Amino acid sequence: MEIGIPKEIKNNENRVAITPAGVINLVHAGQAVFVEHGAGIAAGYPDQDFIDAGATMVDAPTAWAKDMVIKVKEPLASEYQYFRPGLILYTYLHLAANKPLTEALLAHQVTAIGYETMVGADGSLPALTPMSQVAGRMAVTLGSQFLQTQFGGKVVLLGSVPGVAKCQVVIIGGGVVGLNAAKIALGMGAQVTVLDIDPKTLAKIDDEFEGKVQTLFSDHQNLTLSVARADLVIGAVLIPGAVAPKLVTRTMIASMAPGSVVVDIPIDQGGIFETTTHATTFADPTYTVDGVIHYAVANIPGAVPRTATDALTAVTIPYAATLGRLGFTEAVKVDRTLFTGVNTYAGLLTEQAVADSLELPYHALSTRL
């Protein structure tokens, strides 16, 4: 199989879909890899590194013309021109909040595999986990930054100093993102509260931090009280493949002190705050609603592209090698994780959560192979 790696064109998306080590793995597995010129420079990988690994450097149209295209982020509208029947697209898709992309994939009969819906045998999300770890950890440092006076924040230090009250960090969702956000927030000296609907998740958080993190059931009352007193609120709720639930209302946001900050990590799935009405970019990362600073960048790990690229490709490229070796049909039959990642196939929407979110017809992949 010929595999194309185009350069990411999303605003300040500096990651690349493969490392030179990943190229070596695919080449050794019998695949031919074609990387767009300059695709890895921002992540610290110059073209020569890919050439030395066995890749061929090409332009964007050539990369997109290959049997399978591996990316980091979902294609933008300007890339829809490359869609065609039979193309295998392997990337983060987040279709539940992106009907135009979904419709374009269906219209051009693209086989689209989304990292974010690939479910492992243990119920984990192997291709999403490393970026969730990065995003969770970065959310705290970003929130701390925007609390500073030069950004219009609450003019407080997240961890404070001895003798001065610590900041209140509220994390909504205790999964991978929430756990990693809690680690950094607690390490910086903040008072941390994690809310979740799952008692087992709350018990895990309590054990992980030996009771140093406040855990609460995520009901309306606890959310209302927690958000009102928070200096920084981090949205960390994910329903794989589905649009994110709007858990924090505008009334809750209005109860926060001016200059407080919210970071809506699942904004690429629609976000959990009623007031995060649209995603932002690194070029213009925030907007203010009712005096509260909203950080809604949809590709947070893109700010640390070397770390993020290395972590992402370590888990995604082995599945790509399986696709290349066996071909799509056989690969998804023998690898259940790949099977669960298929969002569109032969003009049909095969991801139930996306279909429900967008109110489009769903077709079970198992009946189409």
- Active site residues per annotation: 94, 268
Q: Find where tokens 């697209």 sit.
A: 89
**What does the alpha-carbon distance between residue 214 and residue 174 come to, in Å, rounded to a whole number?**
12
Q: How far is CA 230 from CA 194, 233, 244, 333, 339, in A?
A: 12, 6, 21, 48, 41
**C-alpha torsion 133→139→144→145, nearest 10:** 110
Q: Find where tokens 């140093």 sit.
A: 212
Q: Coil, helix or strand for 324? A: helix
DSSP state of 167: P
Q: How far is CA 50 from CA 20, 24, 105, 321, in A?
A: 5, 9, 29, 17
Query: Phi, psi at residue 3, to the nearest 5°?
Result: -120, 125
Helix (H) or strand (E) segment spanning residue 169: strand 168-172
> 201 and 172 in contact (C-beta within 8 Å)?
no
**What does the alpha-carbon distance between residue 289 and residue 250 come to, in Å, rounded to a whole number?**
9
Packing angle of the helix pair 305-326, 129-146 (nearest 10 deg): 160
Q: Find where tokens 């690229």 sit.
A: 309
Residue 349 pairs with which residues in a beta bridge? 344
List CB contacts of 91: < 8 A, sequence separation 6 or more.
17, 69, 70, 71, 72, 73, 74, 75, 112, 113, 114, 115
